[in-house]
Amino acid sequence: MAVSGRMSKVSSFVAALCILIYIAAVGFGVVRLVIDIGQRRNLANREFQELANRASSAAVFLGFMSQAYQQNIRDSLDTSQTLLGVIISSSSGDFAFERFPGRSVAWAGNSPRFINRIDFPSQPLFLPLRIEGQTHVNIQAIYSNINTDFLLVVLRETLFAVLIALAIAFIVLLVELTQKNRHCYQTAAPADSAPVVDSPPPPDPVVYRALPEEKAAPAGPVPVVSEAGGSPHGLFTPRGNIGWESYTHDRLESELRRCASFEQDLALLVMEFKCVQKIDDALARQIAEQAVAFFGMRDLIFERGEKGITVIIPSIDLEQGMSKSEEFRIRIASNLPESFIGRHSLYIGLSSRSGRLIEAQRLIIEASTALEKTLEEPVSHVVAFKSDPEKYRQFLKRRS
């Protein structure tokens, strides 16, 4: 688990670094845009002042609003870096000039006005002109405070920085997942090498019950399991239309590997009806259908001998498994009262992965041990096998 711990620290550091890159890229882009807007505002004021001076002096040599005078204003506007539209108002009429026709000036009758745009400042630039022979001559100009080309450059560079940070985060996450999966598969034992009889004894269990009164007891012998319904043929048994008992180990091993890869828990429930030698086929099918309707996974429910079933429930822990077991017992007693009241009861033993890289056979032994305990001492109908994590780690060290 040291590899996982180191990778978690690296991923946390990279995540913090990526967040800093995001903030720095966006903040630097905003600062650059604000600085550029201020520079363009200053430039627009200088260009407008020069245009006003040119408009005043040109009237002396070219004549106010002559063709040459108007062309002179248009030339000044075209050479400007910021100005987009000019309106000259006088007692003889109003005149408008645009760098791009129809984009900055609109007419309301004989009166021109500036069009509202998001890149225009709130107020146009304004100065009075001194023109001989004319009174009340004013010049106004509108300018763009956003340089579109510069804005695109800033956005492109900011996006590039963000994409680099995302690529780094994705690569680190991919490496972490690869290392984690490799570590899990190297630690977990192969299914075909799972010990059955010669395996070392399990750590001392702590068995606790679903009733308020808790009582710990050592594990008893593992009950002998026999195949019911003949040899396996097909996916489901003809007797209960659920999985064959001989398929339990392989399917449990597969689910344990999957849950270990995704760091999910898993609970194994083994159930048996007491005080009966064998459940008839009709009743077995009813019980199986109740289990499928309740747990919702036909391919994870298997026959167990001639009077029991086994259920694999991924993604739940031991406490949730005990709750599910009690709910299922209540469901059986409620939906099939004529079959069980006064005759025999359903007993359940369970165990869970509990974050361990455990083998299927070992988990079956733990759940079967819990079932044997509740059958011998029926203080509760549900008993769970709770492992000691420290003893389990010591057991793994002895095996390695």
- CATH number of the domain residue 249 falls in: 3.30.70.270
Indicate whether 211 pLDDT > 50: no
Q: pLDDT tens across 224-267, in order?
A: 344 444 567 788 998 889 999 999 999 999 999 999 999 899 99
- 91 and 230 share one domain: no
- 6 and 95 share one domain: yes
- 137 and 208 share one domain: no
Residue 233 lies in a domain: yes
- Across residues 146-172, what is the average pLDDT? 87
Query: 287: closest CA among 331, 232, 343?
Result: 331
CA-based diameter of the chain, in Å?
Answer: 124
Query: 312: closest CA among 387, 256, 384, 272?
Result: 256
pLDDT at 396: 67
pLDDT at 247: 93
Q: pLDDT tens across 357-382, in order?
A: 889 999 999 999 999 988 887 678 89
Judge residue 42's burial from the number of C-beta atoms within 10 Å of its C-beta, 0-12 exposed, 13-18 middle, 19 or more buried.
Answer: exposed
Q: Is 83 helix (H, G, I), strand (E, B) or coil?
A: strand
pLDDT confidence bin for 119, thresholds 50/70/90: confident
pLDDT at 102: 83
pLDDT at 8: 67
- Burial letters for 139-157: b for 16+ Cβ neighbours within 10 Å, e otherwise? bbbbbbbebeeebeebeee
- 323 and 219 share one domain: yes
Residue 110 φ then ψ, to 5°: -100, 10
Residue ranges making up the domain that contains 135:
2-148
CB 365 within 8 A of CB 225: no
- Across residues 12-37, what is the average pLDDT? 88
Q: pLDDT tens across 324-344, in order?
A: 999 998 888 888 876 665 445
- 98 and 240 share one domain: no
User: How many whole angstroms separate alpha carbon 6 and alpha carbon 18?
Assistant: 18
Q: What total of structural domains would you count in the chain?
A: 2
For residue 134, give every residue at least 6 positions away whose Cβ sits within 8 Å of its Cβ, in sequence order, or none. Answer: 59, 64, 90, 91, 92
Judge residue 275's burial from the number of C-beta atoms within 10 Å of its C-beta, 0-12 exposed, 13-18 middle, 19 or more buried.
Answer: exposed
Judge residue 184's burial from the number of C-beta atoms within 10 Å of its C-beta, 0-12 exposed, 13-18 middle, 19 or more buried.
Answer: middle
- 200 and 317 share one domain: yes
pLDDT at 324: 92
Helix segments in 262-349, DSSP class H: 281-295, 318-335, 337-340
- 244 and 110 share one domain: no
- 344 and 280 share one domain: yes
Of 148, 168, 187, the residue that ends a domain is 148
